Amino acid sequence: MARISGKDAVVSQEKAQGIPAVKDKVALVTGGAQGFGEGMVRELVSAGAYVYIADMNIDGATQLSETLNQEQGSTRTFALKVNVTDEESVEAMMDHVAKTTGGLDIFISNAGVLKAGSVKEMTLRDFQFVTDVDYTGFFICTKFASRLMAVQNKPTGEYFSDIIGISSKSGLEGSNKNGAYAGAKFGSIGLTQSFALELVSDNIKVNSICPGNFLDGPLWSDPDRGLFVQYLKAGKVPGAKTLGDVRKFYEDKVPMKRGCETKDVVKAIYYIVDQKYETGQAVPVTGGQVMLN
Ligand SMILES: NC(=O)c1ccc[n+]([C@@H]2O[C@H](COP(=O)([O-])OP(=O)(O)OC[C@H]3O[C@@H](n4cnc5c(N)ncnc54)[C@H](O)[C@@H]3O)[C@@H](O)[C@H]2O)c1
């Protein structure tokens, strides 16, 4: 048997014991079937949480849930079909949660879409598609998640829960030819601050996380439709001849010289949940690419 030593031993011990901030908590991740969401689901499960994988892509969510339950040897995850832009669908999802686990500790509003384009050319339809998912979806999800979470706090007045929006570094600074996305992500931080002010009386903390580019995720690395392929074909990166050149261009924009990874985002989740004296914040996780004023 291989011996585990040093840093690996600490990591494996932590995993066996779970991460105290989330161990045995019930979490829900929208858009949990792939990308950042999938990574969050995997990390949260290995940290000891029970996780709803809520996605429009129910096949992907179900497959992931089955795999993780098998790996864990028990039912740690549940797949749920949801469209975050549809009130009835989100309400039904939260009803299902209430009936199944009786409550929810951590709601992660992660489902998001991106359609880039010039303001001179973008269709209203595309603009509204992005706004519906990335901005309005956060409102709809918070509406129904907060109702359930508020009930949990009623008996003692001491039960903290968390709503976490996955915004973006493009929620902190503008993004060229990507206004629909940046506008929605900026807007979601306005919602975060406003909902935080209201929901503090229910002990519901509302915060956002602003990740940098997830260069290893499907959005960037998909071999057919990923942004590396699109940007190479469109000649968006001056002088780039290969996918590697495009990737390096984006890595070089980051002071820490790499893309954002799920493990970086999950550390921010642990901090937010563990910290009982903060709400309404937008936490950057960008390797220094975007700094707060
Ligand atoms: N990829 C990046 O570089 C990056 C950087 C910063 C922030 N983000 C944000 O992180 C989040 C996840 O991004 P990703 O790159 O992992 O995305 P992704 O496209 O890989 O996955 C998104 C998931 O959301 C689901 N989804 C889409 N619309 C939905 C809807 N209406 N209802 C329910 N589910 C829906 C999809 O089925 C998919 O499983 C998004 O909010 C995104 O804006 C991404």
Quick: pLDDT tens for 133-151: 999 999 999 999 999 999 9
Q: Which of 50, 135, 181, 231 is catalytic?
A: 181
Question: What is the atom index within ligand 1 of the atom nearest the CA of 181?
Answer: 43
Least confident of 82-86, 135-139, 174-178, 208-212: 174-178
d(CA 38, CA 36): 6
Query: At 71, is the pLDDT very low, low, confident or very high (cuts 50, 70, 90)?
Result: very high
For 288, other C-beta atoms within 10 Å of its C-beta total 11
* First-to-final CA distance of the chain: 51
Question: What is the atom index within ligand 1 of the atom nearest the CA of 111?
Answer: 24
Q: At which residue do the structure tokens 């261009």 appear?
A: 249
Query: At 8, is the pLDDT very low, low, confident or very high (cuts 50, 70, 90)?
Result: low
d(CA 61, CA 273): 24
Amino acid 50: pLDDT: 98
Mean pLDDT for all residues in the chain: 94
Say if ligand 1 is within 6 A of residue 163 CB.
Answer: no
Residue of 38, 41, 55 with the most ligand 1 atoms within 8 Å of its CB, for mutation: 55
**Whether domain 19-213+261-285 has CATH 3.40.50.720:** yes
Residue 213 has pLDDT above 50, yes or no: yes
| Ligand 1 centroid from CA 138, angstroms | 13
Query: Whose alpha carbon is nearest atom 24 of ligand 1?
Result: 31
Amino acid 178: pLDDT: 93
Q: What percent of the chain has pLDDT over 70?
A: 95
Say if ligand 1 is within 6 A of residue 37 CB.
Answer: yes
Quick: pLDDT tens for 232-278: 998 889 999 999 999 999 999 999 999 999 999 999 999 999 999 99
Q: Domain map of the chain by residue range?
A: 19-213+261-285, 214-253
Residue of 65, 216, 219 with the most ligand 1 atoms within 8 Å of its CB, for mutation: 219
181 annotated active-site: yes
Amino acid 234: pLDDT: 86
d(CA 119, CA 232): 22
Reduce the secondary structure of 60-123 to three states and give it as a string: HHHHHHHHHHHHHCCCCEEEEECCCCCHHHHHHHHHHHHHHCCCCCEEEECCCCCCCECCCCCC
| Ligand 1 centroid from CA 94, angstroms | 20
Amino acid 236: pLDDT: 86
Query: Whose alpha carbon is nearest atom 42 of ligand 1?
Result: 112
Residue 9 has pLDDT above 90, yes or no: no
**188, 171 Cβ separation under 8 angstroms:** yes
